[in-house]
Homo-oligomer: A and B are copies of this chain.
Amino acid sequence: MTAYYREHQKLFVSVDCIIFGFEENKLKVLIGKRQMNPGRGEWSLYGGFVAADESIDEAANRVLFHLTGLRNLYMKQVGAFGSVDRDPGERVISVAYYALINVKDYDDKLRKEHGVQWVSINEIPPLYSDHNEMIMEALRLMRQKIKTEPISFRLLPSLFTLTQLQRLYEAVNGEEVDKRNFRKRIKDMDFIEKTELIDKSSSKRGAYLYRFNKKAYNESNNFKL
């Protein structure tokens, strides 16, 4: 270590994950009761410390995998949270990440083992430390992103109906949209492909199932919602 570093102090660095899911036409996040001190029993995001031999992105992926058993989730950094007293135990800088998962990909048994649950973003209780702020900021960023990038499909099964997709947008943005205008915009995006399959789970008549064609997207690339 050169003299340059020697005089400075090291700090704990952690990651906290805001995991978004779409269920019952609501946008939800995974939270659980803290099982350790400080803050045992308080509602909290799921997180972990960053080790010296891993990048913060790797740490976030490791924590996400540990919690969900899923890899290659869509994940974006929210930012670093660094008030001096944000953690009541020690000085800890935390880097928040948000991730998107299709709720059905998440093994419910594993979820319960970790003691986390899906809570609607409109019903988030007061959380440990600055975790409420983290969620609000993650939501702001995700809302922004979902307008210009095709990330919504990460929250849905690979086959979905247009009503499901619309409900997802409504849940994310917290406001209803006009069905005809919505479907018009979808039609303009050739990479949202209609299949011949029909889903009858939510209506008698049944609705066509659509799929996101990533290859077609990469070529035509004009997402806008």
Residues of chain B lying within 8 A (CB to CB) of residue A80: 56, 77, 79-80, 95
**Partner of A5 from B4, B9, B89 at Cβ < 8 Å:** B89
User: Please, how many angstroms separate the alpha-carbon atoms of A37 and B5 in the complex?
Assistant: 10
Chain B residues contacting A1 (CB-CB under 8 Å) are: 89-90
Check B77–A95 contact: CB distance below 8 A. Answer: no
- Interface flags for A59-99 (1: CB within 8 Å of B; 0: not) read 00000000000000000010110111000011101010000
A9 to B5, CA, bound (A): 16
Report yes or no: A84 in contact with B4, Cβ–Cβ below 8 A.
Answer: no
Whether B5 contacts A84 by the Cβ 8 Å rule is no
Stretch at the interface among A46-54, A102-110, A174-182, A202-210: A46-54
Asked whether A57 and B79 contact (CB < 8 A) given A4-B36, A9-B52, A10-B12, the answer is no
Known contacts A36-B4, A79-B77; decide if A52 and B13 are in contact (CB<8 Å): no
Bin the interface of chain A by size.
Answer: 20 to 34
Main SS class of interface, A? loop
When all copies of this chain in the complex are counted, the total is 2
B55, A13: Cβ atoms under 8 Å? no
User: Does B11 lie within 8 Å of A50, measured CB to CB?
Assistant: yes
A1-29 near B? 1/0 per residue, CB < 8 Å: 11011001111110000000000000000
Option from B9, B37, B83, B90 in Cβ contact (under 8 Å) with A51:
B9
List the B residue with the shortest CB-CB distance to A93.
Answer: B13
- B12 adjacent to A5 (CB under 8 Å): yes
Are the C-beta atoms of B95 and A52 separated by less than 8 Å? no
A-B contact pairs, 14 of them (CB 8 A): A1-B89, A5-B90, A9-B52, A10-B12, A13-B93, A50-B82, A52-B91, A55-B84, A56-B82, A57-B82, A79-B79, A80-B95, A93-B93, A93-B95
**Besides the contacts A10-B11, A13-B13, what 18 more A-B pairs have beta carbons closer than 8 Å?**
A2-B36, A2-B37, A2-B38, A2-B89, A4-B36, A4-B37, A5-B90, A8-B51, A9-B10, A10-B10, A11-B12, A11-B13, A13-B82, A13-B93, A56-B93, A79-B80, A80-B95, A82-B95
